């Protein structure tokens, strides 16, 4: 058993390396090795703990790679774009912010990575925002908030990983966060509306020039949106059949007592998506896209597993429990709190949910919390600080909206507020 202080030092070194643009997986591996050695463990024992953590991650990694079939099919067949476009057009220009929240919610819920969902919907969103004369900041916040809400009820890597570490059914973990997701939708729309009102007040004070300047920044994407909207996209029914198939198969466990593993359900949804949209010729392309997106996550989880293995065999858990006792916080708060802290350290929902689940699942369940509730609360907590600048999500979303880094930084408090609402309501509903 190594010391909790050494685990914190190793984790801090990993954060610094990630901030310095070192590869996150290697950074986490190095931080795990450093934590073990500083904690007084022999080199052999440290390596064994690291490999033990990776072994615990293996089932989740396999299921996450399988999820790439559905994610790739949704993007490459145009289904994801069609879903987003239909929602935005259906609600009209007067409700652009609400439509963006809902569009990204459904895309993320269907299994599309939140950053991929933002990139996919951005051209359509920015063109609609230009017509409605909305600010980039409000539009991007609406997309991010909706994506976060959908993420906690989706078969995405973070949910798969949390469910796996708690040995809970994926469908049950997804269902446990539906109330938090609805609260997240409301919070996202409200905060985006507040941001838009603030922008309008600034425009009134500065004249119309400010509005025109920001709107012009989306001009280049307007043409992209026109091309996208004129492309041969599938009809909305075909676009929805794939993700509905996957979600339906996963729902058989709570509804009929029939357990269909995500390893089967998610690829099945992808195959249905390919067939119903008549895009069989894109099958290989979809698989290649899906595996390219998931392989990066899988490699990250290998590094995450090494660090989680060290934390699991350290006294860090005892330090956290002592902190909760000192602050008079109930033990149930450990679940969302650990998810939030680990997501802040890694700037990743998946890595945050994984490290927290692997490190604290035993303590959480020992406190009388069910496996499903523990996994759901950690998953919601991991959305609180997963958007920090040392992660790829921050930069991918800034690029999708063509937003300067300075302006993107101003959104962090609003994103954190959405994540906090998700975590708080999950704690209330599942704790």
Note the pLDDT tens digit of each residue in 39-82: 888 999 999 999 998 988 888 888 888 888 988 998 899 888 88
Number of structural domains the chain divides into: 1
What pLDDT shows up at residue 58? 86
Element (H, E) at 78: none
Most confident of 33-37, 301-305, 341-345: 33-37
Confidence of residue 390 (pLDDT cuts 50, 70, 90): confident
What pLDDT shows up at residue 395? 82
Q: Does residue 224 register a pLDDT over 80?
A: no
What pLDDT shows up at residue 206? 62
**What is the distance between the alpha carbons of residues 54 and 121, in angstroms, rounded to a whole number?**
35
Most confident of 7-21, 219-233, 322-336, 372-386: 372-386
Confidence of residue 187 (pLDDT cuts 50, 70, 90): very high
What pLDDT shows up at residue 231? 53
Place of tokens 């904690």: 39
Q: Does residue 203 register a pLDDT over 70?
A: no
Quote the tokens at residue 410.
């101003």
Domain that holds residue 22: 4-430
The structure's pTM equals 0.81
Contact 397, 114 (CB under 8 A): no
Question: What integer best gives the mean pLDDT of the chain?
Answer: 85
Q: Does residue 415 register a pLDDT over 90?
A: yes
Report the percentage of the chain scoring pLDDT > 90: 35
Among 374, 388, 385, which residue's Cα sits nearest to residue 426? 374
What pLDDT shows up at residue 45? 93
Q: How many other CB atoms sit within 10 Å of the CB of residue 167?
A: 11
Q: How many other CB atoms sit within 10 Å of the CB of residue 285?
A: 15
Q: What are the angstrom distances between the C-alpha of 421 and each of 263, 302, 426?
A: 31, 30, 8
Among 199, 216, 106, which residue's Cα sits nearest to residue 414? 199
**What is the distance between the alpha carbons of residues 250 and 109, in angstroms, rounded to a whole number?**
13
DSSP class of 280: G
């Amino acid at each position: 058993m190594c010391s909790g202080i050494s685990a914190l030092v190793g984790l801090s070194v990993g954060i610094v390396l990630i901030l310095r643009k070192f590869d996150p997986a290697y950074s986490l591996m190095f931080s795990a090795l450093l934590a073990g050695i500083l904690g007084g463990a022999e080199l052999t024992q440290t390596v064994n703990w690291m490999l033990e953590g990776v072994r615990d991650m293996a089932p989740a990694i396999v299921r996450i790679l399988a999820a790439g079939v559905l994610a790739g099919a949704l993007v490459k067949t145009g289904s994801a774009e069609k879903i987003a476009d239909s929602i935005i057009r259906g609600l009209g220009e007067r409700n652009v912010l609400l439509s963006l929240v809902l569009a990204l919610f459904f895309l993320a819920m269907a299994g599309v990575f939140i950053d991929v969902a933002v990139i996919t919907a951005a051209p359509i969103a920015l063109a609609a925002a230009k017509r409605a004369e909305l600010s980039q900041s409000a539009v991007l916040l609406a997309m991010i908030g909706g994506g976060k809400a959908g993420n906690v009820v989706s078969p995405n890597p973070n949910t798969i990983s949390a469910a796996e570490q708690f040995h809970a059914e994926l469908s049950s973990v997804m269902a446990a966060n539906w109330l938090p997701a609805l609260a997240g939708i409301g919070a996202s729309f409200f905060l985006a509306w507040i941001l838009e009102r603030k922008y309008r007040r600034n425009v009134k004070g500065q004249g119309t020039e400010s509005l025109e300047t920001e709107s012009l920044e989306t001009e280049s994407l307007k043409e992209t949106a026109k091309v996208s909207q004129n492309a041969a996209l599938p009809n909305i029914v075909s676009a929805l059949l794939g993700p509905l198939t996957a979600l339906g198969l996963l729902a058989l466990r709570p509804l009929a007592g029939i357990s269909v593993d995500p390893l089967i359900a998610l690829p099945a949804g992808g195959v249905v998506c390919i067939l119903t949209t008549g895009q069989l010729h894109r099958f290989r392309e979809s698989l290649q896209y899906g595996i390219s997106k998931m392989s990066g996550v899988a490699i990250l989880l290998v590094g995450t597993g090494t660090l989680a293995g060290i934390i699991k065999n350290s006294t860090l858990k005892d330090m956290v429990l002592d902190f909760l006792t000192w602050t008079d916080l109930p033990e149930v708060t450990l679940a969302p709190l650990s998810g939030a802290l680990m997501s802040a350290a890694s700037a990743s929902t998946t890595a945050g949910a994984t490290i927290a689940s692997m490190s604290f699942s035993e303590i959480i369940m020992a406190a009388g919390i069910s496996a499903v509730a523990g996994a759901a609360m950690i998953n919601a907590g991991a959305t609180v600080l997963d958007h920090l600048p040392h992660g790829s999500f921050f930069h991918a979303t800034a690029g999708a909206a063509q937003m300067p880094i300075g302006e993107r930084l101003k959104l962090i408090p609003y994103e954190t507020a959405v994540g906090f609402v998700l975590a708080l309501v999950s704690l209330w509903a599942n704790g």
